[in-house]
Amino acid sequence: MAISSPGIGSGLNITSIVSQLVAVEQQPVRVLQSKGATLQSKLSVFGTVKSDLSALQDAASALVSATTWDSKNLTSGNTSAVTGTATSSALSSAFSVEVTSLASGQSTKTGAVASSYVAPSTGTLSFQLGAWDANGNFSAAASSAASVDVTAGDSLSTIAASINAKTATAGVTATVVTAGGNQQLLIRSNATGAQSGFQITATTTELEAFGFTATPAVVNGAGTVTTPAVYSGMARTQTASDASLTIDGIAVTSATNTVTDAIPGVTLNLLSKTTSAAQISVDVDKTAIKAKIQAFQDAYNKINTDLKTYTAYNSTTKTGGPLLGDSTTAGLQNMLRTLVGSNGPSTSMIGRLSDLGLQIQADGSLSTKSTTLDAALQNPKNVKEFFSASNGTASDNGIARRIYDFSFGATGIGGSVSTHSAGFQKAIDQNTKAIDKFNAHIADYQKQLLARYTQLDTSMASLNGLSTFVSAQISQWNKSS
């Protein structure tokens, strides 16, 4: 196969010539590449603006949502005794709570035995949930008793483990407590309330002797019933009882220390007995509302700052931001400033954002004067109306609703922001296609140049060969003459 080296025949540097001609032809590609980089930069920063507008839309939506304005907060004057929460369905109110006793479960213990002590016989322990009355009488609950098998030689720890394996049905949990070298089996109700008591019975005399013997109430000579300290052969260390409290003097009982059904929408957490009434108030959650207003301010300031940055002109460097002169961006900036500076709805007692303490600064951002906002929030209905009113016309709706509607429309399908963003992408795609087309043209152009100059090289090589032959003939002729 022949080895080709362009330029050998003619002495021309064909590779360099073709390279330089191709470089000239590539000038439009470089222009297109620069244009593509600019378009990509605009699309990127406009994407940030679009994201900022979506964040502002979300912040405005929170101020339009009824959930924000209906949320309630419960405040307790004695958080060591009573705390609580309130849902949006709770009425704004104030009341006092006195806690007489907390809800508790039953707790019983065996007598102390040596740590080496074991069950003397095999049998079954039966656990029945129910309630004990003041006379020591037990009323079984509707649930069936749970049986726990005990094998002769079982330690207290083994018995406790057997009980705990049935804790879901037995309704109790067992623990072994070691003190002074001896052990005791402690059994407690899993739940609280008067109905969480339990009775234990045994199937063998040996197990009864071990400490599970049923012990009835005792009636003395005067006929008075005395509640014994021992039930089912175990000493009772705590009685199962309901919580007892009063709400503004009204007696209330609860099987748990979380009271959910006394006041609609209010949950009270009872922590300890009270020595004096705890004052409880339920009101609109102004702290949550203030946080939503702050989030709205932050979202607006973010897009305001980005719009200023992207449309700014630096007179020192004589360079402009990537969106300088972009009409859609300028329109968005002007519209947002108009919205935050406009009057509130006619149905609100609040005229402008400045009446809430949200002042428009020289750079277009918002700053908050907390004392003014706190004062306005003393009447949350007015603030709600200012932000969220829906009066049928865009110009008379609440400020947050106007901004939400504008943002939703601009970022939605066919909206100005979405359309403009799609326009940038379309221009980038078209520019990329133009570059690809030009690159294909340049590849063909380079191929044609190489072919032409190779042909020229071949022709010049032939001419050079003929010239050499002619010169040699002339020299020969001159010698012969």
User: What is the per-residue pLDDT across 99-124, written as a single tens digit (0 to 9) for each?
Assistant: 999 999 999 888 788 888 888 788 88
Residues paired with 268 in a beta bridge: 84, 259
Sign, CA dihedral 87-91-94-96, equals negative
- The domain ranges of the chain are 29-68+287-419, 72-103+243-284, 107-238
Is it the case that residue 9 has pLDDT exceeding 60? no
438-474 residues labelled b (16+ CB within 10 A) or e (exposed): beeebeebbeebbeebbebbeeeeeeeeeeeeeeeee
Q: What is the pLDDT of residue 37?
A: 84
Binned at pLDDT 50, 70 and 90, residue 464 comes out as low
- Separation of alpha carbons 267 and 251, rounded Å: 16
**In this predicted model, what pLDDT tens digit does every residue of 319-355 receive, in sequence order?**
888 999 999 999 999 999 999 999 999 999 999 999 9
Rounded to the nearest integer, the mean pLDDT of the chain is 86
**Low-confidence winner among 340-344, 415-419, 475-479 (lowest mean pLDDT):** 475-479
- Separation of alpha carbons 314 and 134, rounded Å: 88
- Separation of alpha carbons 435 and 70, rounded Å: 58
At residue 69, φ and ψ (nearest 5 deg) are: -85, -20
Helices (H) and strands (E) in the chain, counts: 12, 24
CB atoms within 10 A of CB 57: 20
**In this predicted model, what pLDDT tens digit does every residue of 450-461 receive, in sequence order?**
777 667 666 666
Q: 369, 367, 373: which is closest to 386 by C-alpha?
A: 373
- Separation of alpha carbons 282 and 285, rounded Å: 9
Name the CA radius of gyration of the chain, rounded.
45
Q: Which helix (H) or strand (E) holds 236?
A: strand 234-238
- Separation of alpha carbons 376 and 384, rounded Å: 10
Is it the case that residue 8 has pLDDT exceeding 70? no
Q: What is the pLDDT of residue 442?
A: 77
- Separation of alpha carbons 91 and 403, rounded Å: 31
Q: What is the pLDDT of residue 365?
A: 95
**In this predicted model, what pLDDT tens digit does every residue of 240-269 receive, in sequence order?**
999 999 999 999 999 999 999 999 999 999
Is it the case that residue 467 has pLDDT exceeding 70? no
Q: What is the pLDDT of residue 10?
A: 52
Q: What is the pLDDT of residue 232?
A: 37
- Separation of alpha carbons 475 and 469, rounded Å: 10
Q: 46, 62, 15, 74: which is closest to 298 by C-alpha?
A: 62
- Separation of alpha carbons 157 and 277, rounded Å: 44
Is it the case that residue 64 has pLDDT exceeding 80? yes
Q: Write the burial class of residue 399 (CB in 10 Å: 0-12 exposed, 13-18 middle, 19+ buried).
A: buried
Instruction: Please report, for residues 37, 49, 207, the alpha-carbon distance to residue 200 in angstroms, rounded to integers and kept in the order given.
Output: 83, 71, 11
Q: What is the pLDDT of residue 438?
A: 78
**In this predicted model, what pLDDT tens digit does every residue of 165-209 receive, in sequence order?**
999 999 999 999 999 888 888 999 999 999 999 988 877 765 654
What are the DSSP E strand ranges found in 3-140? 72-76, 82-86, 93-101, 107-109, 113-114, 123-132, 138-140
- Separation of alpha carbons 200 and 27, rounded Å: 97
- Separation of alpha carbons 250 and 98, rounded Å: 10
- Separation of alpha carbons 177 and 113, rounded Å: 11
Instruction: Note whether 280 and 109 are within 8 A (CB).
Output: no
**In this predicted model, what pLDDT tens digit does every residue of 134-171 receive, in sequence order?**
887 889 999 899 999 999 899 999 999 999 999 999 99
% residues pLDDT > 70 (the chain): 85
Instruction: Note whether 173 and 167 are within 8 A (CB).
Output: yes
Q: 285, 283, 243: which is closest to 260 by C-alpha?
A: 243
Is it the case that residue 227 has pLDDT exceeding 60? no
Rounded mean pLDDT of 49-70?
95
Residue 418 token pair: 């979405």
Rounded mean pLDDT of 358-381?
94
- Separation of alpha carbons 18 and 166, rounded Å: 92
pTM metric for this prediction: 0.70
